[in-house]
Chains A and B, each alone.
Chain A
Amino acid sequence: MGGIVIIGAGECGTRAAFALRKAGISDAITLVGSEPYLPYERPPLSKPVDGAVQLKPICGAQALEASAIDYLQGVSASRLETESRTVTLTDGRVLTYEKLLLAAGARTRRLTCRGAEHALAFRTYADAAAIFSHAEAGKSVAIVGGGLIGMELAAVLRSKRVAVNIIEAAPTPLGRAVPPRFAARLHARHVDEGVQFYLGRGIAEITDDAVYLADSGLVLADLVVAAIGVQPDMALAEAAGLATGNGVLVDHFLRTSNPDIFAAGDCAAISLSCGGHIRFESWRNARSQAETAARNMAGGNDAFVALPWFWSDQYDLGLQVAGLPQPAHQSVVRCLADGELEFYLDGGRLVAAAGLGVGNAIAKDIKLAEMLIAAGVDVDAAALGDPDVNLKTLLKSARAA
């Protein structure tokens, strides 16, 4: 009896299953996933190659089998009981666990206005397939929410010559996660590409052919997509009495308030040394938290320390952000032939970096900036801003010092 049960077969749960084997776990590992496919990657859903929606598996069925991971596809966990250490599944089966990982991810936030049911969500392969099956040239789409997902979708739809309207409650798009400098650049690019923005506007009602704005006016649309963010999926944890907040609360070791239950990825809010909890919604975070949680479930004692990092692709532009840039940071800009970087310093120390450029123009430098941040050294602001100073040289001298 016993073994390990993982709830949720997204990036985090799937990665954790393999990492558990790597950490030497030989007990049974059961991976429970509510979606009816092999575990797949979400980011490609908003970045279709050659215009087609892709289902890009994280791993093949053979890889799951070779690692003796029992993948229960298209089955949900409906109840968690910590006393009896059991998980009840929607097909009636009951699993017993010795250690459990909650990797249930996040679900899309729903609009609450009248007619909200007309708006499609955008999180799963099924959502993407529904959206793109309607996305023909000449049609018109209204996207509610100008965050990363909404803006990526807009870029893809423009490439298919679909008319795109973005309705955003805030005064600027991308305000939440993207530094203002690059949010403004991306906004301008979308305007150049013909995207129509309705900023600082709320929504009164959605019908089958239009979105009615709160302060009068309407946007005609053949299709409405709600991209107003996600909420951590913590239903099981709440019902089981685990501590929750903006996510399932975990300590530095990704352990929940029950020592045999861990949580990681989009559903987990990890404690900060300065107080409070922080939840990340990014692909790399899902992978790296999965790896740390797996090591700790196998008996390790690793604190989770990875630097936050995400990327976004819009048109031919690639954005990358490492660390958490804050308005209070000193900013240093470096111009490149095909892009621009911005470094963020806190009391002379490099703490974050972001870049926007054509293709992967800024990738190498962001990687080097990540290493400089990890080195925790004071960096000369003038050198950071000078494109003739190779960041690799800065890193080598920082490491030698």
Chain B
Amino acid sequence: MSNLMTWVSACKIDDIEQEGALRFDHAGRTYAIYRGPDDSVYCTAGLCTHEAIHLAEGLVMDFEVECPKHSGAFDYRTGEALRLPACENLRTYPAEVIDGEVRVALG
């Protein structure tokens, strides 16, 4: 394991609905990128920690994403699992917006 992070350009902020999420695939892995109600952006691992279900299809309300399968929920800013059956936290990655472009630090 190296802890080298690489910044990758992922999408435009306007590609993501406000209070919404978008799937982003990179180097054989999948992620979810979120746009908060205040237009801040965040990035987490794409799949729920309960089963391999993509969170980008989940409902985003405030800073919470709900898994579309069994309603497990996470705080997408910290990755914290908020509601069962999800009990393992999600991995998070740094994200930023520069000139309308969303970049995420993966690694």
Q: Give the interface of A toward B (CB within 8 A).
A: 15, 44, 49, 58, 283-284, 287, 311, 359-361, 363-364, 367-368, 392
Please, could you name 23 A-B residue pairs with CB atoms under 8 Å apart, sorted by A? A44-B51, A49-B52, A58-B85, A283-B70, A287-B85, A311-B69, A311-B70, A359-B57, A360-B53, A360-B54, A360-B57, A360-B58, A361-B57, A363-B58, A363-B59, A363-B69, A364-B68, A367-B59, A367-B66, A367-B71, A368-B59, A392-B19, A392-B61
B84 interface residue (CB < 8 Å to A):
yes
A284 lies within 8 A of B58 (CB): no
Question: How far in angstroms is the closest Cβ of chain A from B38?
Answer: 16
Q: Chain B 64-75, CB within 8 Å of chain A: the 1/0 string? A: 001011110000
Which single residue of chain A is at the shortest CB-CB distance from B84?
A287
B84 lies within 8 A of A364 (CB): no
Closest 8 CB pairs of A and B: A363-B68, A360-B68, A364-B59, A360-B57, A367-B59, A367-B66, A363-B57, A360-B69
A44 — which chain B residues lie within 8 A by C-beta? 51
Question: How far in angstroms is the closest Cβ of chain B from A63?
Answer: 8
A311 — which chain B residues lie within 8 A by C-beta? 69-70
A15 to B54, CA, bound (A): 25
A364 to B57, CA, bound (A): 7
Question: How far in angstroms is the closest Cβ of chain B from A124?
Answer: 20
Chain A CB within 10 Å, residue with most, of B51, B58, B59: B59
B71 lies within 8 A of A284 (CB): yes
Question: How far in angstroms is the closest Cβ of chain B from A58?
Answer: 8
Question: How far in angstroms is the closest Cβ of chain B from A392?
Answer: 7
B54 — which chain A residues lie within 8 A by C-beta? 360
| Chain B residues touching A, range | 10 to 19
A392 to B17, CA, bound (A): 12
B66 — which chain A residues lie within 8 A by C-beta? 367
A211 to B102, CA, bound (A): 61
Given contacts A360-B68, A364-B59, 5 further A-B contacts (CB under 8 A): A360-B53, A360-B69, A363-B58, A363-B59, A392-B61
A267 to B85, CA, bound (A): 21
B84 — which chain A residues lie within 8 A by C-beta? 15, 287
B68 — which chain A residues lie within 8 A by C-beta? 360, 363-364, 367
User: Which residues of B (46-95) have their CB < 8 Å from a CB of A?
Assistant: 51-54, 57-59, 61, 66, 68-71, 84-85
Which single residue of chain A is at the shortest CB-CB distance from B18?
A392
A283 — which chain B residues lie within 8 A by C-beta? 70
A363 — which chain B residues lie within 8 A by C-beta? 57-59, 68-69
Which single residue of chain B is at the shortest CB-CB distance from A362?
B68
A364-B71 contact given A287-B84, A392-B19, CB 8 Å threshold: no
Chain B CB within 10 Å, residue with most, of A284, A311, A361, A392: A392
B19 lies within 8 A of A364 (CB): no
A368 — which chain B residues lie within 8 A by C-beta? 59
Question: How far in angstroms is the closest Cβ of chain B from A133?
Answer: 24
A284 to B84, CA, bound (A): 10
Question: How far in angstroms is the closest Cβ of chain B from A43?
Answer: 8
A367 — which chain B residues lie within 8 A by C-beta? 59, 66, 68, 71
Question: How far in angstroms is the closest Cβ of chain A from B74?
Answer: 14
A134 to B34, CA, bound (A): 45
Question: How far in angstroms is the closest Cβ of chain A from B30?
Answer: 14
A284 to B67, CA, bound (A): 14
A49 to B53, CA, bound (A): 12
A392 — which chain B residues lie within 8 A by C-beta? 19, 61
A364 lies within 8 A of B58 (CB): yes
A15 to B87, CA, bound (A): 13
Chain B CB within 10 Å, residue with most, of A58, A311, A360: A360
B71 — which chain A residues lie within 8 A by C-beta? 284, 367
A15 — which chain B residues lie within 8 A by C-beta? 84
A367 to B52, CA, bound (A): 19
Chain B CB within 10 Å, residue with most, of A58, A283, A284, A363: A363
Question: How far in angstroms is the closest Cβ of chain A from B92?
Answer: 22
Which single residue of chain B is at the shortest CB-CB distance from A364?
B59
Question: How far in angstroms is the closest Cβ of chain B from A368?
Answer: 7
B58 — which chain A residues lie within 8 A by C-beta? 360, 363-364
B85 — which chain A residues lie within 8 A by C-beta? 58, 287
A360 — which chain B residues lie within 8 A by C-beta? 53-54, 57-58, 68-69
